[in-house]
Structure 1
């Protein structure tokens, strides 16, 4: 239980640090973390596309934002630590919640790690593709932009599903306390 509380606290602290102290230093686009969360580029007030991202990357006034987005925002230490803490929190919270439910207790515990691991893997992949494009290791092309968009979609859907998993398991635990199994409803 202590590790779950510690992971929750670390996740919250890293999220707040990224949102309020680190990312805003690199401009409103990085503060919004537009590639990871939005479908538009705030400074351009334009829909995110391969063409709009290419224009943003080519804009010399964005060089500080590009560097800051890659490090320290995306790559070690901040977003990598955040995604690890969040993924571990979601996995470690799910297992005991599921084990407390008689109906689910016979399932192997690795089942509850599928969504958190999918989230962590897709977020690491997304960060890697963003960094590779931003540092010109991989050219921005239709294929690389699609790959980035795919990882972002998988990340967002899997983290939402993992959060829902914890919430549903938690709600079922609360219900099992209110309505004990074997009692008529």
Structure 2
């Protein structure tokens, strides 16, 4: 799996646009995860997201070009009513929460959600998580449509869900 640049993108079979939504409470690391994946950077003390922000990254995975369109939603209570709007048409939804909160862990286990531990601070498992979930979403698209036309965007009937752990502050020592 490689991250694509303009030269790498030529000669690949298909391009897929995947809408990825990061949801969770305030200060759990949604912005840190998105920025670690897109720019491989981390900084302490981001400002709280207002509404939602959008960033993207294109990667080549198994000869397919995948454009990850990442929506980083606000975690403040006053913006929670907007989350369903951002989830509409999503291929992947990451539910981000602090590992010290046992209630979200229990919720993930009860609902049978996939679970991954990541660190935006060190970058541990961030790239792999996006690549694995992106590959699964594309495989599902291919299965349902028997290989889409180049640059087609196909909405899955059901969103792929994964819950993951992340702590924005002092997550890794």
Q: TM-score, normalised by structure 2?
A: 0.28
Give the number of the structure with larger relative contact order, counting CA–CA contacts within 8 Å between residues 6 or more apart.
Answer: 2
| Structure with greater Cα Rg | 1
Q: Which has the higher helix share?
A: 1
Q: Which has the higher strand share?
A: 2
